[in-house]
Amino acid sequence: MLIHLIAAARPNFMKIAPLYHALKKEEWATPVIVHTGQHYDLNMSDAFFNDLGLPEPDLHLGVGSGTHAEQTGQVMITYEKALMQSRPDLVVVVGDVNSTMAATLAAVKLGIEVAHLEAGLRCFDRTMPEEINRLVTDALADILWTPSPDADENLMREGISSDKIHRVGNIMIDSLEMLREKIEKQRAYKEFGLNPDDYGLVTLHRPSNVDNEDVLKSICEILARIAQKIPLVFPVHPRTRKNLEKNGLMSLMNETPGMYNVEPLSYTRFMNLVFNCCFAITDSGGIQEETTYLEIPCLTMRPNTERPITIHQGTNQLCKLENLENRIENVLSGEVGQTGAIEFWDGKTASRVVKSIRNQLLG
């Protein structure tokens, strides 16, 4: 059975890796990695493939950057051609990036079955491009693999038949567990002269935080103040770097004592920084989940989250910019949030997905 795994942007790579490795072991499955090229830099893509033990993609669509319509359209056009040349039995899309939705559209229109891994997440905020991608992908996919009960409920509320929905858990925890030893060996914090539990980790790249000059300037000023109290390591996403440079803010960030601004890091080096930080400030989806699993306080700089379980059963809290300094004080004085194991966030999601494919498609 020919199975396409769509990899496009950085947060996708750690979601397809465990599944690729699990499918490779199955006699009946031929997994093929399709890289759309949405992320193309060495440190946004290749470094992840290396760390995660993924081979060179079998198919590279070379789409690159562009507006939303350009990126979505390019993936549809190029992927449709690839599908017509060699028709897979199943297309697996992950997460919520533009390529996830685009590959789904191209495949379903050719009558090819699509499965969505990380289905059902909703933040109910349609100004977020990812929410549109999630809604469209879930409305069209034939198999919906969800990470948590809230995701099942969202899908049912949208009228999706329950026999399409299969709760398999959180695949990112599989990558984390698969590479735990390598991650623990890294000691990435040492490169900045830092010690475990003695720094905060920052990642910010959402358009709502980094595209507006005034918002970005306020964020930089507040981070600079926090860095006077506790060092901050900030791997800077290309979108964020572009905007910092355009608005003349990169020098403020570089001149601030205690602020370590670096290029995006490979998976294992970055995760080593997560393992050892005393808090994370982020607007990423994945980091809300990884910190919950690791029981590390996480301040999410967004008005909402599609991952509410990380708040109710985890260490995550939504935070407004004006409250950030106070919240950091609380965290430093020991406030962690509720923690407890979440069902199926256990490193065994890939094997549940393989079982689901076998049951659904091989009968």
Binding mask 45-64 for ligand UD1 (x = CB under 6 A): x-------------------
Contact between 127 and ligand UD1 by CB under 6 A: the answer reads no
Separation CA 311–CA 305 (nearest Å):
9
Q: Where does this chain touch ligand UD1 (CB under 6 A) — which range of 3-11, 24-32, 248-256, 305-313?
A: 3-11
Q: H/E element holding 132?
A: helix 129-140
Single out the segment in contact with ligand UD1 by CB under 6 A; choices: 5-13, 105-113, 266-274, 294-302: 5-13
| Of the candidates 62, 65, 33, the residue with the CA atom closest to the CA atom of residue 49 | 33
Question: CA–CA distance from 349 to each of 36, 113, 121, 132 (Å)?
Answer: 24, 20, 17, 25
How many other C-beta atoms are found inside a 10 Å radius of the C-beta of residue 146? 25
Q: How far is the CB of 240 from ligand UD1 (least distance, A)?
A: 8
Q: Phi and psi for 300 in degrees, rounded to 5?
A: -100, 120
Catalytic position from the list 39, 116, 166, 205: 205
Residue of 170, 139, 175, 133 whose CA lies nearest to 307: 170
Site string for ligand UD1, 195-234 (x = CB under 6 A): ----------x-----------------------------
Nearer to ligand UD1, 8 or 354 (CB): 8
Residue 68 is among the residues annotated as catalytic for this protein: no
Using CB under 6 A, which of 4, 15, 35, 39 touches ligand UD1? 39
Pairing of strands 113-117, 143-146: parallel
Which of 6, 11, 146, 316 lies at the binding interface for ligand UD1 (CB under 6 A)? 11
Q: Which range, of 91-99, 134-142, 150-158, 303-311, touches ligand UD1 by CB under 6 A?
A: 91-99
| Position among 149, 238, 247, 263 found at the interface with ligand UD1 (CB under 6 A) | 238
DSSP lists the bridge partners of residue 7 as 35
Smallest gap from Cβ 96 to ligand UD1, in A, equals: 6
Beta strand pairing status for 165-167 and 200-203? unpaired
Q: Which of 44, 262, 318, 361 lies at the binding interface for ligand UD1 (CB under 6 A)?
A: 44
Site for ligand UD1 in 274-333 (CB under 6 A): none
d(CA 293, CA 13) in angstroms, rounded, equals: 19
Return the bridge partners of 5, or none.
33, 92
C-alpha 145/C-alpha 161 separation (Å) is: 13
| First-to-final CA distance of the chain | 13
Catalytically annotated residues = 205
Note the residues at the interface with ligand UD1 (CB under 6 A): 9-11, 38-41, 44-45, 65, 96-98, 129-130, 205, 237-239, 242
